[in-house]
Structure formats: C-alpha cells, structure tokens
C-alpha cells in the first residue's frame, strides 16, 4: 500500500484515539491497535510514516514499537488469527495435544498462514483463562476446555461459515 492511500484513514483513526490522550505521546499503542483492527489483523508498514508526520515521533521508534510487541504484525495474516496458549497451566492440562491437533488440522506450523488465507497460527503466553484450560483465542473470541476433537469442530465450523454453508 502506498502512504497516500492510507493517509486519510490512519489520520482519522489517530485523531479519534488521540481524544483519549492525557499527555503527549501516550496513545501510540492504542492507535496501533485501532489501525490493526481496521485493516483486519495487520498494520500496513506505511502507517508508521503517517504516524511520524502526525506525532513527530521518529520513524525508527515507531518501527521498533511495531516489531517489539507480539500482538502487532506488519505482514498480512489470516482472517482468523489463532492464538494458542503455551504456558504451563495449559500445558499440564493437555495443551500439547491441542497444539498438535491444530497443526495437523491446518497443516501449518507456528507463525504460518494457511494457503486459503483463512487461518494464522500463533502461540501466546498465558491468556488468564486458566480456570478452563487449555485455551485459545481466535481473533477476540476465547475457547476453553479444549481437546483435540473440540478444536477440529471449531475449525470445521469456521470453515463452513466461510463457505456460506
């Protein structure tokens, strides 16, 4: 994407979020979240240049922030980003079988996207849903008490929803 195409959109998002600002510069991460939500699971790298112009923050700093935080991605991800918890509370309640089942069902590894562009598989640290572990999130929706069978059902449901069945 070129900077000019996204300039208006990014500016509008920034101005909207900036109304929550208490101090100069305190809304960068909230803004990046909003941009990522808008474009659906990724932030066009050119957004950094627009934000530089809007905030005066050096480009290098914005790039650093974009790449430091796990939740942000500058490359396009699948329509559904699956975040599967790898932390110990999920691990001891059957997390590994769930991860193996997901990889097998989607035929991708961690950090990869399916060929149809539907799913990206990512691992995450504890999601704070340990009362119903093992857990995963698909975009902003959480799923708990997972088993290999259950994840296959969930993926099947999403796939058939996408096919309009």
Each as own residue / partner, the long-range contacts of residues 99-106 (CB below 8 Å, 24 or more positions apart, any chain) are: 99/123, 100/148, 101/148, 101/151, 101/152, 102/136, 102/151, 102/155, 105/151, 105/152, 105/155, 106/155
**Which of 71, 75, 107, 116 touches other proteins (CB under 8 A)?**
71
Burial class (CB in 10 A: 0-12, 13-18, 19+), 146: buried
Among 23, 161, 163, 164, binds other proteins (CB under 8 A): 23
Query: Which stretch in 67-75, 97-105, 110-118, 156-164 sits in contact with other proteins by CB under 8 A?
Result: 67-75
Nearer to other proteins, 11 or 30 (CB): 30
Q: Tell me if 70 contacts other proteins by CB under 8 A.
A: yes
| CA pair distance 21, 23, nearest whole angstrom | 6
Q: Which region among 61-69, 100-108, 109-117, 150-158 touches other proteins (by CB under 8 A)?
A: 61-69
Should residue 130 be labelled a site residue for other proteins when binding is judged by CB under 8 A?
yes
* HEC per residue, 60-93: HHHHHHHHHCCCCCCCCCCCEEEEEECCHHHHHH
Closest distance between other proteins and the C-beta of residue 6, in Å?
A: 20
CB 115 to other proteins: min, Å: 26
Other residues' Cβ atoms within 10 Å of the Cβ of residue 94:
15
The piece of 5-13, 20-28, 104-112, 113-121 that touches other proteins (CB under 8 A) is 20-28
Residues that bind other proteins (CB under 8 A): 20-23, 25-30, 32-33, 57, 61, 64-65, 68-72, 83, 86-89, 91-93, 124-133, 135, 137, 140, 142-145
């Amino acid at each position: 994407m070129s900077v000019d195409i996204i300039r208006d959109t990014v500016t509008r998002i920034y101005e909207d979020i900036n109304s929550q600002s208490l101090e100069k510069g305190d809304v960068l991460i909230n803004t990046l979240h909003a941009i990522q939500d808008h474009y659906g699971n990724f932030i066009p790298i050119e957004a950094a240049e627009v934000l530089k112009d809007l905030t005066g923050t050096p480009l290098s700093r914005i790039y650093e922030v974009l790449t430091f935080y796990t939740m942000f991605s500058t490359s396009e991800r699948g329509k559904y980003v699956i975040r599967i918890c790898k932390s110990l509370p999920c691990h001891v309640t059957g997390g590994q079988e769930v991860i193996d089942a997901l990889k097998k069902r989607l035929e991708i590894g961690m950090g990869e996207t399916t060929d149809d562009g539907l799913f990206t598989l990512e691992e995450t640290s504890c999601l704070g849903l340990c009362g119903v572990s093992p857990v995963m999130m698909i975009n902003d929706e959480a799923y708990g008490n997972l088993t290999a069978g259950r994840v296959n059902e969930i993926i099947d449901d999403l796939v058939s929803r996408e096919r309009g069945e």
